[in-house]
Homo-oligomer: A and B are copies of this chain.
């Protein structure tokens, strides 16, 4: 499974894209990004399904993995590598039990949540927001990130407010990878 969990993890928000969807994804591929999460909360399920199919097509031929935010059904039907479960999603355990072939990620915002996600069978977590970022509440900071990295044995992605300049400091915590939305848009 680890081959699908890359060091840099781009989470989409097409409203912030500077180019049409396919071109923006290709620009990220050109920069070396090989792991994506489709996270487009305003789309209807049929629109999300179509965009997921489009993403899969764009990534074909690359050694790239992709995940669907929240909708386990879309992930399974489209053939994504996994699903990323936000806070109010179907429980990790229930998803893993029924779809053991899916890689399941979980959004965590505290050490307790990280420990719980690992116990429930999450394959990786995002820990956020590391730094200040709009509409995402108080930052957890690098120290809490270091503690999470120490306490859980599954891969941890740092997420939230990370700029290119901050990447070296974030990596010093021993984190598995860096996730971001704006970070990878150019």
Query: Which residue on B lies nearest to A46, using beta carbons?
Result: B88
Contact segment of A32-40, A72-80, A133-141, A160-168: A72-80
Map CB proximity to B onto A67-99 as digits: 1 under 8 Å, 0 otherwise: 000111110110000000000111100110110
Q: Output the least CB separation between A55 and chain B (Å).
A: 15
Q: Which residues of B contact A88 (CB under 8 A)?
A: 44-47
* B98→A74 contact, CB < 8 A: no
Interface on chain A toward B: helix, strand, loop, or mixed SS? helix
10 A-B contacts (beta carbon < 8 Å): A44-B89, A45-B88, A46-B88, A72-B73, A72-B77, A73-B76, A73-B95, A74-B90, A77-B94, A77-B97
